[in-house]
Chains A and B, each alone.
Chain A
Amino acid sequence: MTLNNFIRIFITIIFANYINSKINFFITDYYLNFTLGFLVFSYWVFTLEEHLYALPSFCIGLSIDLLSGSPFGLNALLFSISSYIIHSYRYSFKIFSFLQVTIFFAFLSMFYLGFIHIFMNTANFSYLLIFLSFFLNGIAWIFIYILMNRFKKIFYK
């Protein structure tokens, strides 16, 4: 992967994370949380032919930790683990339907959100929020997949 392409990937994830934080401010009251930054990262891991392996995932996670004020290493850990899981199922995805893939990523984002809340919102951990966000992030994945496919065609070389 070239440095330019890595920067493009990085910018999309940071941008999605920024949008995510702006939207979540309004919807948290309704027990909903997006994980747009994580879904965009998952999209890149899922679709890239050059593969986003351990080191880029770790670096992107650390940068998000710094930018978002979460405990240092939390996103790095979760991004690395997610990248490993997605790569492990790389060949299985080929026989999955789009619905199955959507459910897989909705589950993955649910676990990501669950771990984030375990570390950052321990006293007010809400199962309802995690459960409802499963559906929200499943729907978000569909839109992210479509949008990022267009983005990839235009900007990713």
Chain B
Amino acid sequence: MARIAPGNTPKLGYFVLIILASLFLYLDIQYKTFTSTKNFFNAGLIATNLAINNIVFSPISNLYKLTNNKLALINSNELLVEELELSKSENFLILNKDKLFNDNSELYKFINNISNDYPHEIATISSFDTNLYKCCDNHRLHLFNNSSPFKKGGTVINSTGIIGQISDSNNKVSEVILISDINHSIPIKSNAFFCNASGSGRPKVLECKYDPSLWKESFEIGRIFYSSGLGGIFPEGIMIGSIISIENVEDGDILLNIKSIANPLTQKNVIVLYPNDIK
């Protein structure tokens, strides 16, 4: 590489702005100072997108459909698809009853109690940065709020299983932290073994680390894990996923990599479940 030739680049401006950017970065990572600013901006962006879609793109697309004499058919088709998706989400527990629970008595107990113990709301995903989901540690998505913002801690499920938890809300949208996010953990169990599965930062993969001198349990690939319900946030007995690999890590601990059955990329509508003490 050639030597740097002398130029008239203003160094002071660069110096000041690089220090300022570093300060912003430090404050955001260390103290989450700009989280509310980012959420406010996201909410504005989503609302603008929605408004532009409704005012500009929807009429154009409707006009096109009208000229093809298929408007009614397409509308009813869209409605049916939406209804189907909603009903898929609402019937999540029933559709998956064979897979979800260890035995049927727990399932029936849960279904009978769901209206009392776990009030639920239907929600629609407003934005999901799938690139960040694939590339990076932080896995988040946003939901449009219903009449009121979703409460922090609510469990978010779709027809494939538990996908995450409400982590933040403002007037327009609520943020969901997915179970694969590096900062999330969910209590899980398999027979008599309990652990807190942390997100790995890889899509659909959770990690469960334990000390083999404390737990004598032996594991094999494909072993299924369920939510344990400890902590009272997540409902008990919902299937989380199965072991895809077992690793020996530092200090003699064992790391179980668990692939979640829930896929946040499949549906636009989700259900938010609350335990009684949250809502």
* Contact surface of A with B, Cβ cutoff 8 Å: 20-22, 24-25, 28-29, 33, 53-55, 57-58, 61-62, 66-69, 71-74, 76-77, 80-81, 83-84, 87-92, 95-96, 104, 117, 119-124
Docked CA distance A77–B131 (Å): 22
Ranked 10 nearest A-B pairs via Cβ: A73-B24, A73-B25, A91-B5, A77-B21, A21-B131, A54-B13, A72-B34, A76-B21, A72-B28, A92-B2
Asked if A24 and B14 sit within 8 Å, CB to CB, the answer is: no
Asked if B135 and A55 sit within 8 Å, CB to CB, the answer is: no
CB within 8 Å for A120 and B135 given contacts A71-B25, A71-B29, A92-B4: yes
A45 to chain B, nearest CB (A): 11
Asked if A69 and B135 sit within 8 Å, CB to CB, the answer is: no
Contact of A55 among B17, B22, B33 (CB under 8 A): B17
Asked if B137 and A77 sit within 8 Å, CB to CB, the answer is: no
CB within 8 Å for A69 and B38 given contacts A92-B4, A119-B29: yes
Q: Determine the chain A residues whose CB is within 8 A of the CB of B26 once the complex forms.
A: 73
Asked if A66 and B41 sit within 8 Å, CB to CB, the answer is: yes
Asked if A84 and B14 sit within 8 Å, CB to CB, the answer is: yes
* Interface status of B182 (Cβ within 8 A of chain A): yes
Q: Determine the chain A residues whose CB is within 8 A of the CB of B80 once the complex forms.
A: none
CB within 8 Å for A73 and B201 given contacts A90-B5, A92-B5, A123-B137: no
CB within 8 Å for A87 and B7 given contacts A21-B131, A55-B13: yes
Asked if B137 and A53 sit within 8 Å, CB to CB, the answer is: no
Docked CA distance A53–B33 (Å): 27
Q: Determine the chain A residues whose CB is within 8 A of the CB of B41 once the complex forms.
A: 66
* Interface status of B51 (Cβ within 8 A of chain A): no
Q: Can you list, as one digit per residue, whether each of B120-142 has a CB less than 8 Å from chain A (1) or not (0)?
A: 00000000011110111110100
Q: Determine the chain B residues whose CB is within 8 A of the CB of A25 once the complex forms.
A: 130-131, 134
Docked CA distance A120–B182 (Å): 10
Listed by A's residue number, 12 A-B pairs whose Cβ atoms lie within 8 Å are A20-B131, A55-B17, A58-B20, A62-B21, A66-B41, A73-B21, A77-B21, A80-B18, A84-B18, A104-B1, A117-B135, A120-B136
* Interface status of B69 (Cβ within 8 A of chain A): no
Q: Determine the chain A residues whose CB is within 8 A of the CB of B10 once the complex forms.
A: 53-54
A91 to chain B, nearest CB (A): 4
Asked if A69 and B25 sit within 8 Å, CB to CB, the answer is: no
Docked CA distance A20–B134 (Å): 13
Asked if B131 and A24 sit within 8 Å, CB to CB, the answer is: yes
Contact of A96 among B2, B6, B131 (CB under 8 A): B2
Q: In chain B, what residue has the closest Cβ to A22?
A: B131
Main secondary structure of the interface of A (DSSP, over half): helix
Asked if B136 and A76 sit within 8 Å, CB to CB, the answer is: no
Q: In chain A, what residue has the closest Cβ to B207?
A: A123
Asked if B201 and A124 sit within 8 Å, CB to CB, the answer is: yes
Asked if B129 and A88 sit within 8 Å, CB to CB, the answer is: no
Q: In chain B, what residue has the closest Cβ to A95?
A: B2
* Interface status of B97 (Cβ within 8 A of chain A): no
Contact of A29 among B14, B130, B134 (CB under 8 A): B134
Contact of B202 among A33, A71, A124 (CB under 8 A): A124
Residue from A76, A80, A88 having most chain B Cβ neighbours under 10 A? A80
Residue from B13, B26, B27 having most chain A Cβ neighbours under 10 A? B13
Q: Can you list, as one digit per residue, whether each of B19-45 has a CB less than 8 Å from chain A (1) or not (0)?
A: 011111111110001100110011001
A116 to chain B, nearest CB (A): 8
Q: In chain A, what residue has the closest Cβ to B182?
A: A123
Contact of A124 among B14, B20, B137 (CB under 8 A): B137
Q: Determine the chain A residues whose CB is within 8 A of the CB of B38 once the complex forms.
A: 66, 69, 72
Q: In chain B, what residue has the closest Cβ to A58?
A: B17
CB within 8 Å for A91 and B21 given contacts A72-B34, A124-B202: no
User: B residues 85-133 with Cβ under 8 Å of A?
Assistant: 129-132
B98 to chain A, nearest CB (A): 31
Q: In chain B, what residue has the closest Cβ to A87?
A: B9
Asked if B9 and A28 sit within 8 Å, CB to CB, the answer is: no
Q: In chain A, what residue has the closest Cβ to B41?
A: A66
* Interface status of B200 (Cβ within 8 A of chain A): yes
